[in-house]
Chain A
Amino acid sequence: MKCVIGGAHLRVFGRAIHAIARISDEFWFDPLEKGLALRSVNSSRSAYAYVFFSSMFFQHYCWTALPQPRQKEKQLSPPCKVIIKSVLPVFRCVNVLERNVEKCSIYTNINDHHITFQLLCKHGVVKTYNLTFQECDPLQAVFAKHMCPNVLKVHSRLLADIVIHFPTSQEEVTLSVTPMKVCFKSYTEEDTDFSKTMLTEVQLNPDEFDYFQVGVDSEVTFCLKELRGLLAFSEATSVPVSIHFDISGKPVAFSIEDLVLEASFILATLSDIEKETTSQQPPSFTPWQESLETHTEKAGNASMDKDSSTQANASKKPQRNGKTPSAEPAKPASPLVKQERKVIPGATEGDTTGVEGTTTAHAALAGESHYEKFHSLFFGAVSCKEDAVSHTFHSLATASDSEEDFGNVPSSPVV
């Protein structure tokens, strides 16, 4: 694969790399027929970033490697996994980059597993960065954006103006929508120490959005840190940001799209149940997907609060003060709390997911960091034969999901 990025687009490409860097330490460089895809997943599988640059973005784009003398066919470029830290220095000062660099060439050498970034700068200076990569099939999140009942579209400037009110140490933020208003607020949980935490809330009118569709009232909580990267990237492109989401527990997708590029950051959201209990959940726990109506009933909450508050002091939750989440699992919830949860009426919407599936999901999550509260997205491996550019995402799935909701997929739990 070889491609050349012209001066003006360098800034955009650099910002994309920086945005991806916020997700994970490594990313996939995935050359496709129609363009170049960059993908990244974070360690707890709760955030996925995908940026696709079509061949028109580049001054020159060649997907296939040049044929070697002995080979008769052109070699396809396999996707490569690259360490972000190695690539970041290439695009370090993005703004300065634009001024000093005329163009950037990227080419992969499959035989010796090298990817080379060559910056042709002013005054004849050429900077070459040779990095190694691992050949590796990337993961791709499957997420049915078009199935989301709630869609907001807004210029990235607005989102940046909202996010700026939250301290950089604020890890999670809750987006709460009704047809009448939109609100971004600091995430709090039952045992938040209110006497020590400053809480911020930004209320907006639906008028401020370029497109506003709220099918279901919901409150989704996601990681702000991961979003900030996308915001910086979208500001460089000045393309509006679309937010697709559903009820809590289902992922939220932030995406931008224009003629030459598109990007999606899919973030897992906290499900309501896990907001109140600890992360290590015993197998007899109730289904993870609780309907919103049940949870927002104040009465229901109040009775749960009494019991969980006694536990709140006992359990050691990691502090939300910007430090890395501790890997220590918190103490299990009291049996009384568990029992109350089971009383949730089975007729709640979307609550048809298999309990057995939940067991697998939670058992798998046990022992990880506090981000395990976020459900992992379902990942499928992407082979290079697949036309991954077609964006008919498959339906959303987690390990516990039976995918009945989306109609056209078999109902056995997918692991």
Chain B
Amino acid sequence: MRFRAKIVDLACLNHFSRVINTIAKLAKTCTLRLTVSKLYFILSDKVANGGVGMWCELNQGNFFDEFQMEGVDAEHNEIYLELMPENLSRALKTAQNANAVKMKLTNKHCPCLRVAVELPSLSSSSRIVTHDIPVGVIPRRLWNDFREPSVPDFDVSIYLPVLKTMKSVVDRMKNLSNSIMIEANLSGEMNLKIETDLVCVTTHFKDLGNPSWALEDGCQSSQDRDPESMAEARIDIRKLQQLLAGQQVNPTKALCNIVSKRVVHFILLHEDVSLQYFIPALT
């Protein structure tokens, strides 16, 4: 198992750092899956995570100038590592004006992802800052736990409002209630509702638009659903707030799929990164 990668371009480095910062806000520990062409940050929807699932996919070519990966064996040319994204975020935080950032999988005292940052200095040689981030190697027999979640059979799919607005609404609602109801319909309307003993607060969004999903057999999904009818799910407000707080850049596309009373599936797409986040409905 070998992994070496290098980022030289500052813009790529900043972009990568932002992605890592977002992941760090969503999960304390997660799985990093490395393939020849992509990196995945995965949180599987176990009960331990509160049922939250995360799937974040990056094309390595968009970030790394050099990328060499040799997986577990020829047939399974991938590496699965468990790590704390906060560590990686911290290592990259002070690398913002680096000449180069190199990453390497090493095993000195224990398996580590070694991040070596070459910083400009006044002297002839660069200053080198090395961070050894401990990782856990996930054995192949457990890889099935980290398969890409399928898009659920949703009732309504709708584009999200401007995330900044949504975040400020949710931030205020968080002070009043632990759970929030998301409801949306196929007419581009979404409501965020909280209900307590003393007060009910609802924020209405209109004209959001509904994405059209092509079914596997090529047909447009013809919804027999009444366009006004709302699909709803009550979720933990903190998880929604974490998702919104972690977004540092406005995504190119942001939408959510609601399976009534079951799960809300968020999809945030940027140019070279896609993030899917599943928040289960509260029982």
Contacts and interface: CB of A to CB of B under 8 A. Distances in A.
Interface of A: 164-165, 167, 194-208
Contacts of A200: 91, 129-132
A208 B110 CA distance: 33
A198 B83 CA distance: 11
A206 B127 CA distance: 11
Contact of B109 (A164, A167, A194, A206): A194
Contact of A208 (B94, B112, B127, B132): B127
A198 to B, nearest CB: 5
12 contacts: A165-B94, A194-B108, A194-B109, A194-B110, A198-B90, A198-B131, A198-B132, A200-B129, A201-B130, A202-B127, A202-B129, A206-B123
Given A201-B131, A203-B130, 18 more contacts: A165-B94, A165-B129, A167-B90, A194-B132, A195-B110, A197-B134, A198-B90, A198-B132, A198-B133, A200-B129, A200-B130, A200-B132, A202-B127, A202-B129, A203-B128, A205-B121, A205-B124, A208-B122
Contacts of B252: none
A195 B136 contact: yes
Contacts of B87: 198
B220 interface: no
A202 B94 CA distance: 12
B162 to A, nearest CB: 34
A92 B127 CA distance: 35
Contacts of B222: none
B150 interface: no
B196 interface: no
A167 to B, nearest CB: 6
Given A164-B94, A207-B124, A208-B123, A196 B134 contact: yes
Interface range on chain B (Cβ under 8 Å from partner) = 20 to 34
A194 B127 contact: no
A122 B125 CA distance: 49
Contacts of B128: 202-203
A199 B91 CA distance: 10
A111 to B, nearest CB: 53
Nearest to A204: B127
Interface in B107-125: 108-110, 112, 121-125
Contact of A198 (B94, B108, B129, B134): B134
Contacts of A196: 134
Contacts of B108: 194
Interface of B: 87, 90-91, 94, 108-110, 112, 121-125, 127-134, 136
Contacts of B130: 200-203
Contacts of B91: 198, 200
B134 A195 contact: yes
A388 B94 CA distance: 42
Chain B CB within 10 Å, residue with most, of A167, A199, A206, A207: A199
A305 to B, nearest CB: 12
Contacts of B121: 204-205, 208
Given A205-B124, A208-B122, A208-B123, A194 B134 contact: yes
A106 B133 CA distance: 50
B45 to A, nearest CB: 25
For the complex of A and B, list the 6 residue pairs with the smallest distance between their C-beta atoms, beginning with the closest.
A207-B123, A194-B109, A205-B123, A199-B132, A195-B110, A201-B130
A24 to B, nearest CB: 29
Nearest to A207: B123
A205 B121 CA distance: 9
A188 to B, nearest CB: 9
A207 B129 contact: no
Contacts of B94: 164-165
Contacts of B136: 195
Contacts of A197: 134
Contacts of A164: 94
A149 B110 CA distance: 36
A207 B122 contact: yes
Contacts of B90: 167, 198
Contacts of A195: 109-110, 134, 136
B114 to A, nearest CB: 9
B129 A201 contact: yes
Contacts of A202: 127-130
A202 B90 CA distance: 14
B122 to A, nearest CB: 6
A185 B124 CA distance: 21
Nearest to A201: B130
A201 B128 CA distance: 8
Chain B CB within 10 Å, residue with most, of A198, A203, A206: A198
Nearest to B128: A203
Contacts of B123: 204-208
Contacts of B132: 194, 198-201
A206 B110 CA distance: 31
Contacts of A205: 121, 123-125, 127
A199 B133 CA distance: 7
A355 to B, nearest CB: 34
Contacts of A208: 121-123, 127
Contacts of A203: 127-130
A196 B132 CA distance: 11
B116 to A, nearest CB: 9
Chain B CB within 10 Å, residue with most, of A165, A195, A204: A165
A338 to B, nearest CB: 26
Contacts of A201: 129-132
